[in-house]
């Protein structure tokens, strides 16, 4: 490991993360699940959703926002639907169970929808959409988050949230299509990063608390707002996520004074074979992607990418070369680990 940017294998990082959560009181199977989920985010290149979150998650456990032993309860169920109360379980555990249910139902009944309320932070939505795509189904996930930090189109107040959406569709020989986006211009993590680096953000990301456009991320933290992406169209998507994730699930809105964290999640799975042979669909998707990629590129652009390709490539590279962890994050992890009695050097030596 280099001294300024430790590089670990996915397996090492999973093992350390898992031991940390076990030591913090999470049952072994759930600890492993959340560890695998966080490291998967690092593998696909989304470090903002990776092991950097260990510290937040430990705080949720310590403050009781998340209950490591919560029983995930299915409140209502049909052949095609389920309503689930996660009772503030670790989000990854709840969301994985939700998508597994959706996939099982879609296999039997072609299409399904599962709504979950009272989940802890579920991490990167793309992970759950990909569960479906990896099994030859289409998967879609939306998640109402909080606290409110985003303005509606035409507004300047904090009434919505980053409300992400993910959709994955399998291809043939090519990697699946994976769209995984906040419905705000950016997720809040990018503001945090700009603020810590004291760098300006592009105009159009945020407004200050008086509603003026600004490039200073500090203005967001002083009562400003994130904007929906793509004007009134992204606003409509952001509000749709709020309707389904907050109201339909019974989670409640991130703008409500009663909001206590966590996520309301809606997940769909769809069996594509009902419309024809999967191999035929896959080769059609491959051909479409190849046509898109073969088109002329804009100046300064080397390659047209299919959504999901950057993640696929990052994962191949990091499985091969390891996952670099910034020194400051690594020090935080080691400190937390040792505070919980987990000897990181021993874990690495195993």
Which 292-311 positions form the footprint of a second copy (CB under 8 A)? 292, 295-299, 301, 303-307
- Inter-CA distances, 318 with 11, 15, 33, 46, 165, Å: 11, 16, 20, 12, 25
The kind and range of the H/E element at 168 are strand 165-169
* Phi, psi dihedral angles at 84 (to 5 degrees): -125, 135
Q: Which stretch binds a second copy (CB under 8 A): 19-27, 44-52, 107-115, 194-202?
A: 107-115
Least Å distance, CB 130 to a second copy, is 14
Least Å distance, CB 317 to a second copy, is 20
Does a cis peptide bond (omega within 30 degrees of 0) precede residue 147?
Answer: yes
The kind and range of the H/E element at 117 are strand 111-119
What whole-number distance in Å separates Cα of residue 282 and Cα of residue 93?
30
Question: CA geometry: angle at 219 spanning 215 and 221, to 5°?
Answer: 130
| Residue 143 near a second copy by CB under 8 A | no
| Residue 265 near a second copy by CB under 8 A | no
| Residue 155 near a second copy by CB under 8 A | yes
| Residue 272 near a second copy by CB under 8 A | yes
Least Å distance, CB 261 to a second copy, is 19
Query: Which of 112, 145, 162, 163: binder of a second copy (CB under 8 A)?
Result: 112
Q: Which stretch binds a second copy (CB under 8 A): 31-39, 278-286, 326-334, 341-349?
A: 278-286
Which residues in 307-346 contact a second copy (CB under 8 A)? Answer: 307
Which residues in 15-74 contact a second copy (CB under 8 A)? Answer: none
| Residue 80 near a second copy by CB under 8 A | yes
Question: 23 vs 179, which CB is nearer to a second copy?
Answer: 179
Q: Is 257:88 a contact under the CB 8 Å cutoff?
A: no
Spell out, one character per residue from 220 to 239, where the chain touches a second copy: x when CB under 8 A holds, - when not: ---------xxxxxxxxx-x
Rg (CA), the chain: 20
Q: Which of 52, 105, 39 minimizes the C-alpha distance to 329?
A: 52
Question: 125 vs 285, which CB is nearer to a second copy?
Answer: 285
Least Å distance, CB 71 to a second copy, is 20
Three-class DSSP category at 159: coil
Q: At what angle do helices 10-23 and 28-43 cross, to 10 degrees?
A: 140
Q: Is 166:140 a contact under the CB 8 Å cutoff?
A: yes
Least Å distance, CB 215 to a second copy, is 18
Query: Which of 42, 120, 249, 264: binder of a second copy (CB under 8 A)?
Result: 249
| Residue 248 near a second copy by CB under 8 A | yes
Which residues in 191-220 contact a second copy (CB under 8 A)? Answer: 207, 211
Q: Which stretch binds a second copy (CB under 8 A): 37-45, 79-87, 325-333, 336-344?
A: 79-87
Q: Tokens 């986006």 appear where?
A: 181
| Residue 189 near a second copy by CB under 8 A | no
| Residue 160 near a second copy by CB under 8 A | yes
Query: Which of 156, 314, 340, 348: binder of a second copy (CB under 8 A)?
Result: 156
Question: 26 vs 140, which CB is nearer to a second copy?
Answer: 140
Query: Which of 34, 151, 161, 194: binder of a second copy (CB under 8 A)?
Result: 151
What whole-number distance in Å separates Cα of residue 40 and Cα of residue 319?
10
For the record, the structure tokens of 265 come out as 């999640």
What whole-number distance in Å separates Cα of residue 166 and Cα of residue 242?
15
Residues 6+ apart with CB under 8 A from 272: 136, 137, 138, 169, 170, 278, 281
Residue 14 CB burial class (10 angstroms; 0-12, 13-18, ≥19): buried
Least Å distance, CB 169 to a second copy, is 6
String of DSSP letters for 246-268? IIISS---TTSTT--S-EEEEEE
Least Å distance, CB 109 to a second copy, is 5
Query: Which of 4, 196, 274, 328: binder of a second copy (CB under 8 A)?
Result: 274
């Amino acid at each position: 490991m280099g001294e300024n940017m430790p590089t670990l294998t996915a397996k090492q990082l999973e093992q350390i993360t898992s031991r940390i959560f076990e030591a913090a009181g999470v049952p072994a199977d759930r600890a492993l699940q959340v560890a695998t989920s966080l490291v998967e985010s690092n593998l696909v290149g989304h470090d903002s959703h990776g092991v950097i979150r260990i510290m937040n998650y430990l705080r949720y456990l310590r403050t009781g926002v998340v209950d490591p032993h919560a029983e995930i309860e299915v409140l209502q169920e049909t052949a095609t639907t389920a309503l689930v109360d996660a009772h503030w379980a670790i989000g990854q555990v709840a969301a994985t169970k939700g998508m597994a249910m959706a996939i099982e139902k879609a296999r039997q009944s072609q299409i399904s929808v599962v709504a979950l309320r009272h989940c802890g932070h579920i991490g990167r939505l793309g992970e759950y959409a990909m569960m479906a795509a990896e099994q030859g189904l289409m998967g879609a996930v939306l998640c109402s988050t909080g606290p409110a930090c985003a303005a509606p189109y035409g507004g300047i107040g904090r009434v919505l949230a980053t409300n992400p959406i993910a959709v994955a569709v399998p291809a043939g020989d090519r990697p699946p299509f994976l769209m995984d986006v906040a419905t705000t211009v950016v997720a809040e993590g990018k503001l945090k990063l700009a603020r810590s680096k004291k760098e300006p953000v592009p105009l159009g990301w945020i407004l200050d608390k008086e509603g003026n456009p600004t490039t200073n991320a500090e203005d967001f933290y002083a009562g400003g707002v994130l904007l929906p992406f793509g004007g009134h169209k992204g606003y409509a998507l952001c509000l749709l996520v709020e309707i389904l994730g907050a109201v339909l699930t019974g989670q409640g809105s991130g703008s409500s004074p009663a909001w206590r964290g966590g996520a309301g999640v809606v997940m769909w799975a769809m069996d594509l074979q009902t419309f024809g042979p999967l191999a035929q669909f896959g080769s059609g998707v491959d051909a479409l992607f190849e046509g898109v990629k073969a088109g002329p590129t804009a100046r300064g652009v080397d390659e047209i990418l299919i959504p999901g390709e950057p993640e696929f490539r990052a994962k191949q590279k990091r499985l091969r070369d390891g996952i670099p962890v910034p020194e400051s994050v690594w020090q935080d992890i080691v400190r937390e680990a040792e505070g919980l009695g987990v000897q990181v050097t021993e874990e690495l030596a195993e």
